[in-house]
Amino acid sequence: MNHINFHNKNYTPSKVICIGRNYVEHIKELDNEVPTEPVIFLKPNSAISENLYLHETDNIHYEGEICFLIESGKLSGVGFGLDLTKRDMQSVLKKKGLPWERSKAFNHSALFSDFVAISEPVSELRMELHINNEIIQQGDYHLMMNKPEALLEEINTFLSVEDGDIIMTGTPKGVGVINAKDVLLGKVFSGDKLLVEHSWTVK
């Protein structure tokens, strides 16, 4: 089983709960419809990876996200995550009205920084994704259509959450293809204060 780090302790998420279409500008860039309720899908523990890989045949898109670790039923930790997507395959699946798992839940499709305790208002959180020293994505709490607290409440209406489970809150505009040797640096801030950062080099 794969692990993530919180308070210098390893947690083993039973699942990663992902939120799709949570930023209006990202919805527009992919020409999707604006949902009337949260779009929720899962990645299994086997999707979690420490390394960022290209795929032999499919283009892989990056999606940077603010992520939350669940502990005792609450949003206890925050970190940066990459939701990797086989975009061409996802487009085909969407047109056919089929589930997204083949394009979203594959091995090595979920990468995370360490998680740090939430000690300041969640409303002050924002993220940045830099690729090769250039800011490519920026997003924050106020741009989210569905806020983290409301997402946890909605998830609890139909799904049991366990300690160490992760919520990925969706990606802002600016998604794109990763290339060999790209360096991706994800950061999460509270206001202007850097909380956590992590970098990956595409293998």
- SS3 labels along 21-72: CCEHHHHHHCCCCCCCCCEEEEEEHHHEECCCCCCCCCCEEECEEEEEEEEC
Q: Which token pair is 202? A: 């595409």
Strand order in the sheet with 134-140: 134-140, 125-131, 183-190, 193-201
Residues making up the chain, counted from first to last:
203
Q: What is the pLDDT of residue 66?
A: 98
Mean pLDDT on 100-118: 97
Indicate if the pLDDT at residue 77 is higher than 90: yes
Residue 31 confidence (pLDDT) above 90: no
Statement: residue 128 has pLDDT above 90: yes
| pTM for the predicted model, two decimal places | 0.96
Percent of the chain at pLDDT above 90?
88
* CATH class as words, domain 4-201: alpha beta
Does pLDDT of 184 surpass 90?
yes
The 3-state secondary structure of 144-177, one letter per residue: ECCCHHHHHHHHCCCCCCCCCCEEECCCCCCCEE
Q: Band of the pLDDT at 8, cuts 50, 70, 90? A: confident
The residue ranges of every structural domain in the chain are 4-201
Residue 175's pLDDT is what? Answer: 96
Q: What pLDDT shows up at residue 136?
A: 98
pLDDT value, residue 33? 80
- More confident: 174 or 7: 174
pLDDT on residue 14: 98
Q: Which of 20-24, 35-39, 49-53 has the highest mean pLDDT?
A: 49-53
Residue with tokens 């924050």: 140
HSE value, Cβ hemisphere, 13 Å, CA-based, for 64: 29
